[in-house]
Amino acid sequence: MARIGFIGLGNMGVPMAANLVKTGHTVQGFDLVPDNVAKAQARGVSAAVSASDAVKGIDVVITMLPAGKDTLAVWGGGILKAATPGTLFIDSSTIDVASAKAAHGLAAEAHMFSLDAPVSGGVGGAEAATLTFMCGGATDAFERAKPILESMGKRVVHCGEAGAGQAAKICNNMILGISMIGVCEAFVLAEKLGLSHQALYDVASTSSGQCWAITSYCPVPGPVPAAPSNNGYKAGFASALMLKDLKLAQEAASAAGGTTPLGAAAAQIYAMHNAWGEGATDFSGIIHLIRGKGR
């Protein structure tokens, strides 16, 4: 069993750290917010007094932070000096590809192993230990990380070299953002044509229009009982996080010369939805904007 330093004990970090404890690992955690550290402590994580304190005497560091600037600030802020050379550094935050590559560079300079390993599955997946990890980095780092990530997830995929995990994450979520808007447009058109939600679901969920946004996350109440649409569009996956990921996809496309007109349109539509005060609600609630009516 590994000794793990966990930095960033927010909505995702606390349940992820708790699942590491459940599977027998020793976890010492740190967050800037003392209340968040206390939540992790209540689930078996020992409290560190600083990020550098969290990485003393450990084998693996996991960071779960808001954005690329935070990962670079934490990795570049002393923990690479405080940890023993050869320690494995895993960043599971969703961040831009350029920052992910820069973080790998910092780790290499300090003679550490490193992996970018963002997740999909949300807070529910973090609680249930059913996350999917998309990993970028050298094969030896991946092989070392895999059994640890398996304590927190059900799928661990090696996507390629440094940054490839973040690239997979933002490409996947760009598909999701675009497809959710497409599904919402179809359900709202069905309403205008007098076609019931259930009838459209029954056809599209088993026909060529089938996609995850219909079968697992249907944006109208009824057809998929577990979908946030049946729970007042309580997140779920918050619209603010969808907008964040769509913006990351646009930044990456612009840097790489990619052509993503639908990704750009989806980012604009989610920006409008967020500006209307819907950032904290589930991203499938975009159906209200498509319908042109508030909730």
- Footprint on this chain of ligand NAD (rule: CB under 6 A): 7-13, 30-33, 36, 51, 64-66, 70, 73-74, 93-94, 119-120, 122-123, 237, 241, 244
CA distance 231 to 236: 10
Q: Which is nearer to ligand NAD, 149 or 204 (CB)?
A: 149
Q: Are 225 and 217 in contact (CB under 8 A)?
A: no
Q: State the nearest-atom distance from the C-beta of 47 to ligand NAD, in Å.
A: 12
Q: Which is nearer to ligand NAD, 36 or 239 (CB)?
A: 36
Burial of 295 (0-12, 13-18, 19+ CB in 10 A): exposed
Q: Is 61 helix (H, G, I), strand (E, B) or coil?
A: strand
| 56 among known catalytic residues | no
Amino acid letter for position 126? A
Q: Which is nearer to ligand NAD, 33 or 256 (CB)?
A: 33
Helix 164-193 to helix 197-204 angle (10° resolution) is 130
Q: State the nearest-atom distance from the C-beta of 119 to ligand NAD, in Å.
A: 5
Which residues, including other chains, have CB under 8 Å from residue 286's CB and lie 6 or more apart?
A: 180, 181, 184, 219, 239, 269, 270, 273, 278
Q: Which is nearer to ligand NAD, 9 or 112 (CB)?
A: 9
Parallel/antiparallel/unpaired status of strands 119-120 and 26-30 = unpaired
Q: State the nearest-atom distance from the C-beta of 31 to ligand NAD, in Å.
A: 4
Q: Are 253 and 144 in contact (CB under 8 A)?
A: no
CA distance 263 to 236: 21
Q: State the nearest-atom distance from the C-beta of 123 to ligand NAD, in Å.
A: 5
End-to-end CA distance of the chain: 49
Select which of 146, 169, 234, 247 is catalytic. Answer: 169
Query: Which tokens is 269 given?
Result: 């539509």
Query: Which tokens is 24 given?
Result: 């027998």
Q: Which is nearer to ligand NAD, 134 or 211 (CB)?
A: 134
* Residue nearest ligand NAD (C-beta atom): 10
Q: Are 173 and 242 in contact (CB under 8 A)?
A: yes
Q: Is 10 helix (H, G, I), strand (E, B) or coil?
A: coil
Q: State the nearest-atom distance from the C-beta of 291 to ligand NAD, in Å.
A: 25
Q: Which residues are catalytic?
A: 169
